[in-house]
Amino acid sequence: MRILLLHQYYLPPHEAGGNRWNELCRLWAEQGHQLTVIAGMVHYNRGRKYEHCWGKWLVEENDIPGVRVVRTHVSEWHNVNWAGRLWAYSTFLFSGLWAGLFRVGTGYDVLIVTSPPLLLGLLGVVLSRWKRLPLVTEIRDLWPDTPVQMGILKPSFLIRAAYALENWLYNCSEKVVVLTPAFRQVLLERKGVAASKIGVIPNAADFQRTDQLTALFDRNGFRKEQGMEGFLWIVYAGAHGIANQLDLLVATAALLQDQPVRFLLIGDGMAKKTIRTEAERRSLQNIRFLDALPREVAFQYILASDVGIMTMQQLDIFKTIYANKMFEYMAARLPILTAIDGISRSVIERADAGMFVELRKPVEVAEKIRLYLNQPELRCRHGRNGYEYAKTHFDRKRLADEYLQCLADVPKNRKASD
């Protein structure tokens, strides 16, 4: 199968961040499928162009046999503010259109567009009709619901336009792939998308990769080298955005200064400077901040830690997500403290892999951390349970095969313009 993928945030090899599509492309290419990816040059958390893209408008990469990546210009105003982010979306819309029309050729079997950004769906529809390809739309986050609930998208005319674009995109798609069962329910009950059109392919852990890294990892040596010995380390690995509510970790750290507990925050994002400044204002010595790291290096820090934690704002929309970091923690056999209610909490409780904590109650979070500190057998049990549950239900290899079957079911003889 020849697949054309539109993904503004497709990562270069080993870059930190959501690597769902890097893993899917690699697994599909290993089976003989050919993929071309139209991607942007700016990392979604750092807001800056990748070093190998500096001063360029187009870069081609062929790091994985069978996967051709065509990167095009994106404005570096991406993380300045939300107006800058909208401008970045718009610049990729036009540079991606140019690449789609003049650089990637023809002869594909299907076009996949993965959103957000929602505006990328417009490019997907245009290219699918121009190239007469069936369109598969993947929804990684529900937009515009998320920015509306966060209060980012406020003008009523923009909200109406965004919902109209979303509805049009679903109508133009042969298949809509969502990442959680809760997304599917939203599309069925509130968006009017037919059940036969929706596929559910969740995020997962790449156990082929993580098991190999775990087997080779010298945990004691790494902890000694990084000055991690003698403490219970609580790791947060992921985006430091406004939605991630990381002030909870700062408030909790302030309550545990007299305990052998340390917090490790790995990643970048719009809110990182604010969070770091607050920790410095409180003179907290029990928080360590690291910038985004290559995936393998970040996973080493996760393996060296004792507890994984994840947080999000208390919004209904976030009750419908599976947090990416949950699968990394499970693959590393870490017990999980989650301040994300909804289906992520349900998975953790069903697996007996951790505990739920209230987002605005740092005292409760501190109590649960003390529980893990004093009960290593509980940490071990939760970590083991999470690993076994994720390997059974959220293994990337199996879900990649399910995704391929979903694509195979898309009508190939139907014209995109029908």
DSSP state of 164: H
CA distance 347 to 354: 10
**pLDDT tens by residue, 56-75:** 999 999 989 999 999 999 98
Please work out, in degrees rounded to the nearest 5, the angle formed at the alpha carbon of residue 89 by the alpha carbons of 319 and 269: 55
CA distance 181 to 387: 21
- Give me the mean pLDDT over the 76-93 stretch: 80
Q: Which helix or strand (DSSP H or E) is residue 160 part of?
A: helix 156-172
Question: Pick from 46, 52, 51: which is nearest to 80 by CA?
Answer: 46
CA distance 12 to 289: 23
Label the pairing between strands 34-40 and 261-266: unpaired
- Domain 207-393 in the same topology as domain 2-204+396-408: yes
- Give me the mean pLDDT over the 135-158 stretch: 91
Instruction: Based on DSSP, count helices (H) and strands (E) in the chain, helices before strands.
Output: 16, 14
User: Before 147, cis peptide (omega within 30)?
Assistant: no
Which pLDDT score is estimated for 152?
A: 84
**pLDDT tens by residue, 304-336:** 999 999 999 999 999 999 999 999 999 999 999
- State the CB neighbour count (10 A cutoff) for residue 168: 13
- The structure's pTM equals 0.91
Classify 312 as helix, strand or coil.
coil
Classify 161 as helix, strand or coil.
helix
CA distance 278 to 249: 11
- Give me the mean pLDDT over the 103-115 stretch: 97
Please name the fold of domain 207-393: Rossmann fold (3.40.50)
In the predicted model, is pLDDT for residue 418 greater than 50?
A: no
In percent, the amount of the chain with pLDDT more than 70 equals 97
* Cα torsion angle, 208, 214, 328, 376, sign: positive
**pLDDT tens by residue, 362-415:** 999 999 999 999 999 999 999 999 999 999 999 999 999 999 999 999 976 454
- Give me the mean pLDDT over the 79-101 stretch: 87
Q: Point out the least confidently predicted range of 80-84, 149-153, 161-165.
A: 80-84
Q: Which helix or strand (DSSP H or E) is residue 63 part of?
A: strand 58-64
CA distance 324 to 390: 12
- Give me the mean pLDDT over the 27-50 stretch: 92
Please work out, in degrees rounded to the nearest 5, the angle formed at the alpha carbon of residue 207 by the alpha carbons of 295 and 409: 105
Which pLDDT score is estimated for 24?
A: 97
Asked whether the beta carbons of 47 and 78 are under 8 A apart, the reply is yes
Which pLDDT score is estimated for 413?
A: 44
Which pLDDT score is estimated for 396?
A: 96
Per-domain boundaries in the chain: 2-204+396-408, 207-393
In the predicted model, is pLDDT for residue 44 greater than 80?
A: no
Which pLDDT score is estimated for 341?
A: 96
Asked whether the beta carbons of 165 and 118 are under 8 A apart, the reply is yes
Q: Point out the least confidently predicted range of 40-54, 258-272, 379-393.
A: 40-54
CATH architecture observed for domain 2-204+396-408: 3-Layer(aba) Sandwich (3.40)
With tokens 């023809």, the residue in question is 106
